[in-house]
Amino acid sequence: MNIKKIIKMMFTNTGVDKGIYICTFILCVFGVVMIGDASVGMVVKYGRNYPIINMLKQCFFLGAGAFFMAVIAHKFNTNKMLTKNFLKVLYFGTLFAMFACLLWSINGAHGWIKLGPITIQPAEFMKIVIILLLAYHFGILPDHFMYKYGSAKHKAEMDNLFIKHCVAYPVAAAAVAFFVCAIVQKDLGSGIILAAISIIIFFCVPLKRFDRIKVIFAIAAVFALILFGLAGGVGLMPHQLQRFESWLNPLSGVYDKTWQIVNGFVAYSNGGLFGLGFGNSIMKYGYIPESQNDFISAIIVEEFGLFGFALLMIPYFYIIFKIFKYGIKNENIPDRLILIGISSYFFLHLFVNIGGVSGLIPMTGVPLIFISAGGSSTLAGLMSLGIAQSIIKRYNRNKLKKKVEDEL
């Protein structure tokens, strides 16, 4: 399939939100430019072709992601694709890939599968898998355990099956994914996002049968947070505790532990309101190592200022708002949960990345989707938009069909 056909499929697909595609295109193009710009500072270490190589790698993943996004937007169907066997293969396959990451170590973490010059981060895809899995267990399966008539024994059996399949299994699946991410892979940032997405989806389930369980979960979560705080972060690894310490006292190790964080603050300060101008960043020259990755927002603010960065947020918030809006309006429960999950996925990545770099929250190493260099986050982001567009398309077509029928 050639590029022309992909673009035609995307923009002539009746019912999709073309504004989401336009905003995605803007972010992706800007991301490639900024990856090349931020990489310039490391040419002394990696060679003068380093910016071009990073840009080409990002373009490769963007091309692959655009293809998958267009195909998924055209073919994905919630009712047909969200099946028990399909989701089992997706979940356990991705979980196996996450364990396979233990064979490689990058900066002390085990979050990537390294294949020559390309690295794959399975945790990024697990976020999408969890969204689909929870939509199935919270949105489709509850109908299988409905009861209107029958004995008390039958009612008890249905309630037990409901708790088992619609609460225990999905919660256990999300908990295992979080544990593998945060503890086994030492990637607390992705683990937190996985957990946050799961919690948001759970509390957005509109079925009354979940109301009492939501209250129990909310109380348990509050007590867990209080105990965690009182225990001083028991259960966290030393490097994870160090990130909390660096957040609370960023000037404690300016020349070692908090070097990158403090220089991120300096980049924000250098940028001011309107920035130093495109290409004029100072901090990318060794002060923020690998600045094309998680700290790319600091370079953007330094060069374009807070005003320029605020403009960049417009397409992000358009995507987040529109997907969430379609989710709230959608009466199909699994479709609603998927859209809310995808909207949350983008928002959480945005919040955790910018919050970490700016010092609002502890730094956890999460990419800025479509802007930071990262093939896995780019692919996962584009694929999730393909899923969202397929649901939006179906919603808009059904709405149009209903309108025509009413007029007739």
Q: Per residue in 197-220, pLDDT tens?
A: 999 999 999 988 898 999 999 998
Query: With 60 as the cut, is the pLDDT of residue 1 above it?
Result: no
DSSP code for 141: G
- Cβ 185 vs Cβ 101: under 8 Å: yes
**pLDDT > 90: percent of the chain:** 55
State the pLDDT at residue 311.
95
Whole-angstrom distance between the N-terminal and C-terminal Cα of the chain? 40
d(CA 133, CA 92): 11
Give the dihedral sign, CA 10/12/17/19. Answer: positive
Q: Compute and round to an integer the Cα radius of gyration of the chain.
A: 22
d(CA 359, CA 249): 10
State the pLDDT at residue 334.
94
Which amino acid, one-letter code, is at 241?
L
Provide the domain count of the chain: 1
Supply the range of the domain harboring residue 346: 3-407
Query: With 90 as the cut, is the pLDDT of residue 12 above it?
Result: no
d(CA 69, CA 220): 38
State the pLDDT at residue 149.
64
Query: With 60 as the cut, is the pLDDT of residue 289 above it?
Result: yes
Mean pLDDT of 14-35: 93
State the pLDDT at residue 41.
87
Query: With 90 as the cut, is the pLDDT of residue 29 above it?
Result: yes
Q: CB-hemisphere CA count at 13 Å for 379?
A: 16
d(CA 88, CA 348): 26
Cα maximum dimension of the chain: 77
Which one is predicted more confidently, 47 or 128? 128
Rounded to 5 degrees, φ, ψ at 114 are -100, 120
Query: With 60 as the cut, is the pLDDT of residue 151 above it?
Result: yes
Q: CB-hemisphere CA count at 13 Å for 122?
A: 24
State the pLDDT at residue 103.
87
Query: With 90 as the cut, is the pLDDT of residue 158 above it?
Result: no
Query: With 90 as the cut, is the pLDDT of residue 388 above it?
Result: yes
Place of tokens 């946050």: 196
pLDDT digits (tens, 9 = 90+) for 159-206: 888 899 999 999 999 999 999 998 888 888 899 999 999 999 999 999
Query: pLDDT band at residue 87, thresholds of 50, 70 and 90?
Result: very high
Query: With 70 as the cut, is the pLDDT of residue 2 above it?
Result: no
- With 0-12 CB in 10 A as exposed, 13-18 as middle and 19+ as buried, what is 332? middle
State the pLDDT at residue 143.
85
Percent helix, strand, coil in the chain (nearest 5)?
75, 0, 25
Query: With 70 as the cut, is the pLDDT of residue 150 above it?
Result: no
d(CA 112, CA 140): 33
State the pLDDT at residue 62.
95
Computed over every residue of the chain, the mean pLDDT equals 87
Mean pLDDT of 333-359: 93
Which one is predicted more confidently, 107 or 102? 102
- Cβ 396 vs Cβ 81: under 8 Å: no
State the pLDDT at residue 251.
76
Mean pLDDT of 121-134: 95
Query: With 70 as the cut, is the pLDDT of residue 6 above it?
Result: no
Give the helix ranges, DSSP H, for 82-151.
Answer: 84-100, 122-139
- With 0-12 CB in 10 A as exposed, 13-18 as middle and 19+ as buried, what is 108? exposed
**pLDDT > 70: percent of the chain:** 92
Mean pLDDT of 375-390: 94
